[in-house]
Amino acid sequence: MRKVGVVGVGCSKFGNREVTLQELAFEAVYEALNDAGLTQEEIELSVVGCVGTRTYEFMPAVPVNEYCGFVGKGPIRVEAACATGSAAIYTAYTSIASGIVDLAIAIGVEKMTEVDTATSNAVGGRAGNYLWEFHQYGTTFPAYYAMHASAHMAKFGTTEEQMALVAVKAHRNAAKNPKAHFQKEVTVETVLKSRYIAYPLKLFDCSPISDGSAAAILASEEKIRELNLDAVWIEGVGYSSDTSNMTRRENFVGLKASVQASRMAYKMAKIEDPIKQLDIATVHDCFTIAEIMAYEDLGFCRKGEGGKFAERGESDFGGKIPVNTFGGLKAKGHPLAATGIAMIYEVTKQLREEAGALQVDLKNYRGLTHNVGGTGHFAWVFILKR
């Protein structure tokens, strides 16, 4: 396999955006092309990630490709629920690593606000096992992750206050990120006093419904040298999946797919101790309990200690490993297909030391992205190095 690097990244403003899907995608594509110093003509393959369940375009790849200037470059459309962005990155990565193309762009775009909240929750609830769980019981994603939170609290003593601290950190970081959906800090008291959505998860434990896009341009080592491009290298790739039916899971205190994906990525990147060998991580914090479980599943702390890890500030600036420095899904926003690529954007910016007020201290020049689809139905982990 050939070495592959990220040579250009772009990200739109997340939030309730009064633009078309195509215009939204172009915001990220335009930034990524300028970042890499490339033109549309030089791109050989376009991979469009779009879940598309809340938008008016049922087949979004073609109009997005046309508007962004990539006619004739594919397109490939991928979908893996909330991990769609990582699936797009993986598709572009493997196309280059295998020698089929030298330059590819991964685009993730979503217009989530085209439907009301109730409809959005109902559509999201179908992402697990429709006939058994949603059709029979009406389970939505806040309810799924509430099951995880309740199980974690019962087994390990995790508290609502510890989950609230995850939200406070996310909002504090997002307040310094001009592209974030929420740019206002909150207090633990504000989080704890917000209304319950699905016990024990409250309003401020949940990520928002956001529009947004992100794009990343990947290139082969040969092309990077030929064009003298600045690259952040993809050093490790891991992926896994789990059962669609939650009743077939071993337990609800973690995500098996995350554990397996991280081990695969760590092995490829020769990571033995992620805390010592990584400078930054982005994890899939669609709900605050998801970030706490991610600490454990990714090996940042032992199982059951995720709540205390957050409480001690180990995932904050100055802690053992800064997590979700741009605000995470929780406060930056979660336009499904854009999320995984926005993580690549964030880690790339950090490793280039272009994160401004949110810049972390670098020792290893290595970072991690962790992107989950559904309730652990899919998981991708990437290790990046500069």
> Locate tokens 């997590």: which residue?
323
Known catalytic membership, residue 82: yes
Q: What is the dihedral of CA 258, 374, 47, 380, to 10 degrees?
A: 0
Paired residues of 323 in beta bridges: 281
Cβ atoms of residues 239 and 379 within 8 Å: yes
Q: Find residue 233's DSSP bridge partners.
A: 5, 385
First vs last Cα of the chain: how many Å apart? Answer: 19
In the block, tokens 């939204």 appear at: 24
Name residue 164's amino acid: A
Give CA–CA dist 108/369, Å, rounded. Answer: 15
**Residue 275: closest CA among 303, 239, 233, 314:** 314
The count of other CB atoms within 10 Å of the CB of residue 251 is 10
Residue from 82, 206, 286, 301 carrying the catalytic annotation: 82
Whether 152 is catalytic: no
Which residues are tagged catalytic? 82, 334
